Structure 1
Amino acid sequence: MLAYQIFPKATKVLYMSHLAIGDYIYQRTFLQQVRQKYPQLQLDIWLDDFRPRPKAWSAGRASLLKGWLESESFIDRVYPLAKDEAHRQQLLQMARSNGYDAVFFIATARSSYYAKYARFIADKSYCSGLKPSGVLSPIGYWRFSRLDDCVPDDFDGSSIHRIYGQRFQALTGIKPAIEVAPLTLNGTAVRRVNRAIANWHKPFGTQKSVLVNHLSTTYKRDYSWTKMVDVIEQLAKVHPECLFIINTPPHQKQEVESLTKSLSKERGLACVASSSDGVFELAAMVQAVNAVLTVETAIAHLASVFDKPQVTLMRQQSAHWCPPNASKVLFSSRYINDIPPEKVTDACVKHFFV
C-alpha cells in the first residue's frame, strides 16, 4: 500500500528529516501541500538527526529551526534535537506512544538510522522513506527491508527545489508546486532589523548595505576572513556609499567581532550575529539589505526567495544547491576558499547596484 492510499484516511502523520534552514526553505513548500491536500492531518516534525556526537553549531541551528517550525500554521508538533542518547530515547518513546498512522522520512545522511527509528516509531503503522542509491551495508539493507515502502534516491534535477519536489511526490503522491512558497516576515523582526541598519549607517554616512557571510558549518564551504576583507576593501573603493554587514553564527560572534574591530572605521564595516535572534531576524536582514555576498549557506537561499542581487560562492559538487535566483554563482572544484578574491570582487561590481 502506498502513501496516497494511506494519507486520506490518516489523522496523524510524522515527517522525519535532518533539516537545516536551507533544506526547510524548500521542503516547507511541499509540507504545506501535504497539509492542504489532507487538512484532517496532524502533521508533526522530527528534528533530531541521530548524530552520535553533536557539532558545535548543532544546538544553535536546531533551536532557530525549531522556533520557525513551531510558528508555521500547518505544523502541529516539533520534536527537538536530542541533547544526548538518553534524551533521544525519551523522544523516541514519546513519538511511538502518539500512535501515528504514518511515518515517512527524507534523509541523505545516516539514512539507515532513520529507517530503524522510523520503523520503531511507526510500530505496526505505515512507514516509508528515501533509500540511498548506493550499496547498503547488511544492517542497512535489513532496516530498509522492514519499511512498507522505499523510494530510491535516484532523482535528477536542475535545482534542489525540483529534487525535493520529486522526493515528496514519490513519498506522498502529491504533484509538487513549481515555485517556492513565499515567506511572510514577522513585523517586529522587520522593524528591529531596519532600526539596527539605520543605526549602523549613521557613523559612516552610508546609504546602501551588503550582507556578507563568509562562514558555514565546515571549512570546505568557508571563505577566509583575509580574502573576504580583500574583497570588501576593493568594493568599498568602488562603492564608498556602502555599508558591509558581516553575518556570523552565534558561537563565532565574539571571534568575528574582534576581527572587525581591527579594521579601519572608514571601511564601513559592522558585525551582527543576526541568526542568534531567530530565523525571522535573519530573513528580515536579508530582505532589508541591497545585496548579498555569501558562501553556500541558508543565506543564499533566503536571498533567492527575496530576489536580492547576490553573488554566491559554491563548490562544483553542490551545483544542484544553486539558489534559483542567484545573480552570479562562482564555483570551486574543491574548496570555496580556492576562489580568488579578484574574481569575487569583479562579480560583485558587475551584479550589485546595477
Structure 2
Amino acid sequence: MAIGDFTYMQMCFKALKRAHPHLEIHLWVDERRRSANPADWPHLKNYSLYDWLAASPYIDEVYAQNYSPALHAQSIAKAQREDYPLVVSLTHMACHRYARLTREISPRGFIVGLKKQKYRFFELSKKLSILKFNATIPLYESQEHNVPHVSDIYAQWFTHAFGLDIPKADRYPTIHIPDQWTTYAREQFAAWGLPANVVFINVYSKGEERCWPLERGFELIKEMRKHPQWREAGFVVNVVPEELQAARALHASAAPPNTHLFSAEESFFQLPAVLALCSLIITVETAVMHLANAVHVPVIALMRQNNPEWVPIDQQNSAVILVKEMDAWVTKIELPEVMEKVLSWPL
C-alpha cells in the first residue's frame, strides 16, 4: 500500500468501521522493496505512510515492519498467533504471491483476495496459488476502456468483500491534519517570508518513469515569474528525503529567488499541512496530486497514459497533462505544455 492507495482506501475502512463498529481492523503493509541490506533500512523503516496509519481512527493495528526478511518473518509469526478468522488481501500486484502470503498468515481462516480475470496457459502455478483463496474479487484491468476511478474500484472491492454500499460522496478523500503540523507549516512559511500566493511544485515519484527533472522544475519557476500573475509568488519545491542532499546542491546553483526546498522529514503530516497553505500545486503522478484534492487546493498533474484510474478525483479543481504516447515517461512532457496549462488556470 502506498500513500495514494490509502488516500482513497481510508474512506472504505471508514465505511467498514461505521457498519461494524465492533470489528477490529488490522492492516498488513507489505514492503515490496524489502531488502537484506542494512543500508536500505533507515529509509524503508521511516516510510511516511506509517505516520498516517498510526493516526487513523479506523485502523486498530498496523504490521509495518516488513522491510527486511527477518522482520517479515517475525510479522508473519505474530499474525499467525492472532489466528485471524478472516483475512482479505487487497493487493492488485502479483495476486498469486499474496494468496500464498495470506494463507501463511491465516492457515485456518477464511481468506479472500483479488484475482486476475484471465491467466495464460503457462501461468499454471499462479492459478494454483489463487486456489488458496476461499473466495475471490475480480481485479480491474488498467488498460480497459472507461476504467472507473480508483476510488470507485476500491469501493467495489469492499462491496464484494463486505457487502458495503459506499455512496460516491463518501469516497471523496479527506485528511485530518493535527494542529501541531498546521502550526508548523504556518511558522515555516513565515520564516521563509512567503507571500499569500504560494505555488507548490513536486517532480519526484517512486517510479523513475513518473519523475520530472528537478532542473526543469526550477526552469518552470523562472518561466512563471515572467508573467505578472506569478511574478511575486513564492515557490515551495518538494524533495523526497533521500534526494535532499543532491537537491540542496542544485538549489544553491540553479534555483530562482524566493524558492524554498521542503521535505517531510519529521512526519507525514508536514506534507498535507504545507499543501493546504498553497494556492496552486503542480506535481507529477504521485500521492501529492491526491493529497491536493484532499486539502482542496487546485492541482495541475503531469501523468502517463498507463493508469487512467488514478487521475485526480476533483475534476473541477484539477487539470491533467498527459504524455502523448502510451508507455512514454513523464519527462516527455515539456515546459511549454505545462506553461500553457499554468497560464490558462483561473486565479
Asked if these proteins are the same fold (TM beyond 0.5), I'd say: yes
Q: Measure the CA separation in 2 of the matches of 1:224 and 1:57.
A: 26
1:152 CA drift (Å): 1.7
Q: Measure the CA separation in 2 of the matches of 1:79 and 1:341.
A: 42
Q: Measure the CA separation in 1 of the matches of 2:45 and 2:330.
A: 22
2:165 partner letter: K
**Shift in alpha-carbon separation, 1:130–1:67, aligned structure 2, 3 A:** same
1:57 CA drift (Å): 9.5
Report what 2:267 is aligned to: 278
Please, which runs of 5 or more residues in structure 2 have no aligned partner?
A: none
Report what 1:348 is aligned to: 342
Report what 1:6 is aligned to: none
Indicate if the aligned counterparts of 2:43 and 2:242 stay in contact, CA closer than 8 A. Answer: no
Q: Measure the CA separation in 2 of the matches of 1:196 and 1:171.
A: 44
Do structure 1's residue 260 and structure 2's residue 242 form an aligned pair?
no
Report what 1:10 is aligned to: none
**Shift in alpha-carbon separation, 1:248–1:61, aligned structure 2, 3 A:** farther
**Shift in alpha-carbon separation, 1:32–1:153, aligned structure 2, 3 A:** same
Matched ranges for 1:196-345 at <5 A:
196-201=188-193, 206-238=195-227, 239-263=230-254, 267-273=257-263, 275-325=264-314, 326-332=317-323, 333=325, 334-345=328-339
Indicate if the aligned counterparts of 2:282 and 2:299 stay in contact, CA closer than 8 A. Answer: yes
1:272 partner letter: F
Report what 1:63 is aligned to: 47
1:45 CA drift (Å): 0.4
2:330 partner letter: I
Report what 2:6 is aligned to: 24
Q: Which has the larger helix fraction?
A: 1
1:190 CA drift (Å): 0.2
Give secondary structure in 1 for the equivalent of 2:66: coil
In angstroms, what is the RMSD of aligned CA positions?
Answer: 2.1
**Shift in alpha-carbon separation, 1:66–1:264, aligned structure 2, 3 A:** closer
1:53 CA drift (Å): 4.0
Give secondary structure in 2 for the equivalent of 1:277: coil
Q: Measure the CA separation in 2 of the matches of 1:178 and 1:211.
A: 29
Provide the TM-score with structure 2 as the length reference: 0.89
Spell out, residue by residue over 1:236-283, the C-alpha distance to the aligned partner (whole angstroms, 9 max, x if none): 121121111110111111111111111365x3211111x222221111
Matched ranges for 1:171-186 at <5 A:
171-179=161-169, 180-186=172-178
Indicate if the aligned counterparts of 2:173 and 2:293 stay in contact, CA closer than 8 A. Answer: no
1:39 partner letter: P
Report what 1:145 is aligned to: 131
Q: Measure the CA separation in 1 of the matches of 2:284 and 2:25.
A: 33
2:131 partner letter: S
Report what 1:170 is aligned to: 160
1:88 CA drift (Å): 0.9
Report what 1:3 is aligned to: none
Residue 187 of structure 1, aligned match among 166, 179, 196: 179
Spell out, residue by residue over 1:163-208, the C-alpha distance to the aligned partner (whole angstroms, 9 max, x if none): 1111221122111231324211110000001110121126xxx441
Provide the TM-score with structure 1 as the length reference: 0.87
Indicate if the aligned counterparts of 2:198 and 2:236 stay in contact, CA closer than 8 A. Answer: yes
Indicate if the aligned counterparts of 1:106 and 1:130 stay in contact, CA closer than 8 A. Answer: yes
Q: Measure the CA separation in 2 of the matches of 1:282 and 1:135.
A: 40
**Shift in alpha-carbon separation, 1:183–1:263, aligned structure 2, 3 A:** same
**Shift in alpha-carbon separation, 1:61–1:257, aligned structure 2, 3 A:** farther
